[in-house]
Amino acid sequence: MITRTLAELAQHVGGQVQGDGATLISGISTLQSAQGGQISFLANSRYRKFLQTTQASAVIVAEDYAAECPSNALIVTNPYVAYARIANLFVGSLVCDNGVHPSAVVSASARLGARVTIGPHSVIGEGAVLGNDVWIGAGCVLGRNVAIGADGRLEANITLWHGTQIGQRVLIHPGVVIGADGFGLANDNGIWIKVPQLGSVRIGDDVEIGANTTIDCGALEDTVIEDGVKLDNLIQIGHNVHIGAHTAIAACTAVAGSTKIGKYCGIGGTVGIVGHLEIADHVQITGMSMVTQSISAAGVYSSGTPLEPNSHWHKNFARFKQLDEMWRRIKQLEAQLEQLNHSLHQKDNQ
C-alpha cells in the first residue's frame, strides 16, 4: 500500500496544509464515498453540498472553500489539477516481470533496451527499436522498423505498422491501430484505383491514445501527432493529418486527411472535420460540430442544432428548407423599402 503524509502531498502539488500535516493518506475517493485515510477533492461547486458530511481525512480545496472543510484541507489554486497529480501517486508502479514471454516472437534484428517487457503472443518485427522500460502487453504487433521511446506502455492487442515512430512516455490503450493505410483512391471512369500510402506516422512524447483509435499513415509525407496530445477512444485520424502539441480530442471524432490542427486545441466528442483544413492554435470546438472550413483565429466554435421535442424539430426543419426563399423575399422587400424611402425623400425636397 502506498502511503503519504498530507504534508508530503502538499509539497508534491505546491499546496498549503490546513490542519495536521502528519495525517497519513493511503488513497483517494469522492466526497460522498471517502473514508478515513483517504483524501478527496472539491473541484466543482455543484458538489459543495457533500463537503460538510465527508468522512475523508483531508480534502483538496480552493482557498474560498477552506473554511467550510470539516477535516484537514489541502489548499491549492486548481483542485482538479492537484487531484490528478496526487491520484497518479497512488496508482503506483505496475509490478511485472521484465523480459520476453516465451510465446512472443521477436525478430533477431530488433533492439530491446533495458528492462523491456513483452507480453504473451506479441510480435516484434525486423529492425524494431524499443527504449528502456518499454512495456508491451499481450497480443501486440509491431511491424518493421517501429521505434518506441523510453517508458512507453502499450496495452493489449495494439498494432503499430511499419515505420511508426513513438516518442517517450507514450501510453496506448487496447485495440489501437497506428500506421494502417490512409483512404487514398483515384477514380478511373467509375473504377476505384488504390493510391499507395508511402508515408508513416510520427508521435511525440507524453502522448496518450485511447482504446480502438486509429491513426492512418501518410500518403507521401508522415502523419504527425506532436508532444502531449491526448486522444480519447474511437477517434479516426486520417492520412497526413498534423495535430499540434497539447491538443485534446474527445471520443468518436473523425479528422479527414491532410488537415492541420494547431496547438492547445480542445475538440469535443463526435466532431467531424473535413480534409485539407487548417485550424489555429487555442481553438475549442464543441461536441457534435461539423467543421467544413478552416479556422484562422482562437476561440470557441459550434455547429449543429440542440435537442428539442420532435414536433418542434419537424417544424423548424421545414422552415430551414425555406430559408433561401425567405432570404430572397427579404432582399426584395429591402429593395422596395429603399425605393420607397428614396421616393419620400425626393418628395420632401420638392
Residues 162 and 236 placed together within one structural domain of the fold: yes
126 and 69, same structural domain?
Answer: no
Q: Alpha-carbon distance 97 to 72, whole Å?
A: 39
Q: Give pLDDT, residue 64.
A: 94
Report d(CA 317, CA 304) in Å as an integer.
12
Let me know whether 176 and 232 are in one domain.
Answer: yes
Distance CA 184, CA 258 (A): 11
284/301 Cα distance (integer angstroms): 6
Distance CA 95, CA 81 (A): 26
Question: What was the pLDDT predicted at 304?
Answer: 84
Q: How many domains does the chain have?
A: 3
Where is the domain boundary, 91, 123, 156? 91
Q: Is 271 found in the same domain as 191?
A: yes
Q: 86 and 34 share a domain?
A: yes
Both 29 and 143 in one domain: the answer is no
* 3 state DSSP class of 98: coil
What is residue 294's predicted lDDT score, i.e. its pLDDT? 98
> Do 78 and 126 sit in the same domain of this protein?
no
CATH of the domain at 66: 3.40.1390.10
Question: Are 315 and 251 members of one domain?
Answer: no
Widest distance between CA atoms in the chain: 103
| Residues 210 and 180 reside in one and the same domain | yes
Burial 284-318 (b: 16+ CB within 10 A, else e): ebeebbebeeebeeeeeeeeeeeeeeeeeeeeeee
For the chain, which residues score pLDDT lower than 50?
93-95
Give the pLDDT score at 96.
56
Supply the pLDDT for residue 305: 80
CA atoms within 13 A on the CB side of 124: 29
243 and 278 co-located in one domain: yes
Do 104 and 41 share a domain, yes or no?
no
State the Cα–Cα distance between residues 23 and 38, nearest whole angstrom: 10
Q: Which domain holds residue 46?
A: 4-91
Residues 6 or more apart whose CB falls under 8 angstroms from that of 197 comprise 181, 182, 184, 216, 217, 218, 219, 239
- 36, 60, 91 - which closes a domain: 91
The position carrying cell 425636397 is 349
Spatial separation of the C-alpha atoms in residues 130 and 108, rounded to whole Å = 13
* Each residue's pLDDT tens digit, 252-308: 999 999 999 999 999 999 999 999 999 999 999 999 999 999 999 999 999 988 889
Q: What is the DSSP letter of 48?
A: G
Distance between CA atoms of residues 14 and 12, nearest Å: 6
Residues 186, 224: contact at Cβ < 8 Å? no
Please say if 342 is a catalytic residue.
no
Q: How distant, in Å, are the alpha carbons of 10, 46, 183, 258 from that of 86?
A: 9, 22, 42, 39
Q: Grid coordinates standing for 49? A: 453540498
Q: Are residues 35 and 133 located together in one domain of the fold?
A: no
Catalytic residue (choose from 173, 239, 242, 246)? 239
- Domain CATH for 289: 2.160.10.10
Domain closes at, from 37, 56, 91: 91
Residues 299 and 281 sit within 8 Å (Cβ to Cβ): no
